[in-house]
Amino acid sequence: MAKAAKTAIKTKDQKAAAEAKNWTKVIKAVRSPKSGAYTFKEAIVHKDKIQDFLAEK
């Protein structure tokens, strides 16, 4: 039964699924100026804008 539901979700909206493949979750380590510890900045970015996200401070 679970397999049928999973298949129905895949075929339901193929256009949206194809568009979703153009987005990527990017995680960037950022060093804190106060403590020197690293924190992580994460965002979901379009695949064409990944380098812009990583280049910004």
H or E element in which residue 54 lies? helix 50-55
| pLDDT digits 0-9 by tens, 8-56 | 556 667 888 788 899 999 999 999 999 999 999 999 999 999 999 999 8
| pTM for this prediction | 0.61
| pLDDT digits 0-9 by tens, 21-31 | 999 999 999 99
> Counting every residue, how long is the chain?
57
32 phi, psi to nearest 5 deg: -75, 130
